[in-house]
Structure 1
């Protein structure tokens, strides 16, 4: 059995967590097994399913809250268990912390993979400085360099490493987020929006995802489409700020905060249009899932990688055009909304390398190959 120690699962069911779970569900677990090292003693996203699939979930203290305990628990675990693993796979959005790779090298895990999932700094200035410092050190500790997109690779790695980078597509299990008329009716009835024009966004409530801009868009959109509502699926540190801002804009009755939801396919089915105004993305799994569901998507141009566009229903728009211009574009799209049919979705995603059933075989080979 080839065993991989995976870092990247947190308490929040975000894009990285969804990516890892998608591959873990599909990988040949008779040959390759994942265990998950988590930087928290709290329950993490999808913990029950990770265990049901055969993975161990190892909790250690959070570095930011208990730094000494964190170092002791990380070292203690690696000292005792590192020899059980053929690879460590570190999935992060920043190089501010490379302790897991350092410990993996010290205690003898032969294949040490660093995987970039973002294309800009989303942390404070101190962590930004740490990221820049560790860019110059990462070659000392990692043996393999992966990224979710070319943009994510260029931000993470120095020029001399770029030739070594392997792009791992954020492939999707098409069936899990496919459109469902039944789920659409159920969720729209649950939130009393059966006759509404539902604009949706899925993601952490965080400045990166730019939901504040989405609220400004809604301020203008409700003047054009009075029945419009914005459904925000997720949780995060900006939640209270967003609720307060909605009240200030007098659109609180047009904004629905659903919190974290497990059935993303169901919520996507309930939407009429997917709003994706992020300030930056490594790639953007939410945008991929929306396209699988067939949804029209309007996404920020120049900051979200262009390779995210896989169907003709995906539209780019510049953030600097302003909220009113975005609202006008959405109002225009509302007159010609059609979901992409499943056959076209499967063809586009398979051709572009985003069909999990195909891509998981490639991942298996990457794990098993020698350095």
Structure 2
């Protein structure tokens, strides 16, 4: 059984690619040949994670650079390799590009997987919806809201953004080690954020929140993990607010769980999200999370998550951080793990179920 995973935005360190890597790493790949599509602009960090998972990386030109060339390269590859299942990950009907290439290439199982509750180019999305609905054979979603956004009243299957409990488990030794590495005092309060630098993640507002909090709590730091188009602007904002000594830019890393152990609170003031996998990871690590109320409450699988509106002032968010309950993560660990398992976000179980789905779909075409 040959399966091609296609992240439509390219192979970067974002939520969609994190989903793909977590699943293909945890999955029993016997009698399965899983490949992941990359582009010429693929991020080296994410490429390495895919290769380490035991999957082949397929490189073709980036869709946004030359969509015609991208389409025909993809079509020829699927046809030549006789791919059985194409699993397309995205946020809109623009996935029609990949789904059409797969259909014309003779692929009989074409999965459209919704990872968000909105998209950047809504006009193109609306134009393509009628075509899109005729191209996919199966529809998956990261959550109920993301599924309704893209598939409406059609039946869809929710595939949770499962995570390894062991991998994201809080580690006191790592906490001390990484605080030392970042030159952060043991008694400082550290706010963290993991996400691609783009308009959706609302980093400008995030920095304003930290600015207000830092005025109230000078012994505080903000650590930002990720890369992206807006990182230069954000660094400039940090300089203008004279926060250079307290805001740390990490870039893209393969060991996010190690850094999570060093943090105390997580912020996610996004403009929109589907069901962000990072919030699941943060909860597994026992971290209190303050997130935008634009984000679905489906991601609140423990008592660690609180919501706030991005229509309020940064001062309001700063006050909310002060009021967050920060518990002993070692003592709280077993309780959190049980809540995560009960909510269906244990990757070991989730990967088994996804493999069973693939096998069931494959059996119908053979």
Length-normalised TM-score, structure 2: 0.93
Alignment partner of 1:268 is 2:260? yes
Contact 2:213–2:319 at 8 Å: present in 1 too? yes
Matches within 5 A, 1:63-212: 63-81=63-81, 83=82, 85-121=83-119, 123=120, 127-159=121-153, 161=154, 164-194=155-185, 195-212=187-204
**1:353 and 2:352 aligned:** no
How far apart are residue 72 of structure 1 and its match?
3.3
Deviation at 1:80, TM superposition (A): 1.3
The whole-number CA distance in structure 2 between the counterparts of 1:297 and 1:54 is 33
1:245-283 alpha-carbon deviations (Å, 9 max, x no partner)? 122223232211111111111111110111111111100
The answer on 1:22 being equivalent to 2:22 is yes
What secondary structure sits across from 2:22 in the alignment?
A: helix
Could you tell me how far 1:66 is from its partner in structure 2? 2.8
Shift of 1:198: 0.5
- Give 1:227-242 correspondences, 5 Å limit: 227-242=219-234
Q: How far apart in 2 are the matches of 1:346 and 1:51?
A: 29
State the Cα distance separating 1:317 from its structure 2 match.
1.6
2:207 match: secondary structure: helix
Q: Taking structure 1 as reference, are residues 300 and 68 closer, same or farther at Cα in structure 2, changes over 3 Å only?
A: closer
Displacement of 1:29 after TM fit?
0.8
Partner SS, residue 54 of structure 1: coil
CA-atom RMSD in angstroms: 1.8
Task: Note the C-alpha offset of 1:74.
Answer: 2.0
Q: Which residue of 2 aligns with 1:5?
A: 4
Shift of 1:228: 1.1
Do 1:272 and 1:337's aligned partners in 2 also have CA atoms closer than 8 Å?
no
CA–CA separation in structure 2 for the residues paired with 1:299 and 1:49: 28
Q: What's the CA shift for 1:110?
A: 1.3
SS in 2 for 1:108: coil
Helix, strand or coil for the counterpart of 1:237?
Answer: coil
* Separation (CA, whole Å) in 2 of partners of 1:223 and 1:189: 24
**Is the 1:135–1:158 Cα contact (8 Å) retained in structure 2?**
no
Deviations 1:212-246 (A, max 9, x none): 11111112111210111111111111111111112
Alignment of 1:33-48 (within 5 A): 33-40=33-40, 42=42, 45-48=45-48
Measured after TM superposition, the shift of residue 97 of structure 1 is 4.0
The answer to whether the 8 A contact 2:146-2:274 is kept is yes
Aligned to 2:324, the other structure's residue is in SS state helix
May I ask how many residue pairs the two structures share in their alignment? 359
Is contact 2:71–2:98 with CA below 8 Å preserved after alignment? no
Q: Distance in 1 between matches of 2:328 and 2:311?
A: 27
Task: Name the residue aligned to 1:284.
Answer: 276
| Aligned residues of 2:89 and 2:112 also touching (Cα < 8 A) | yes
Which of the numbers 285, 288, 304 marks the counterpart of 2:295? 304
Structure 1 outlier segments of 4+, above 6 Å: none
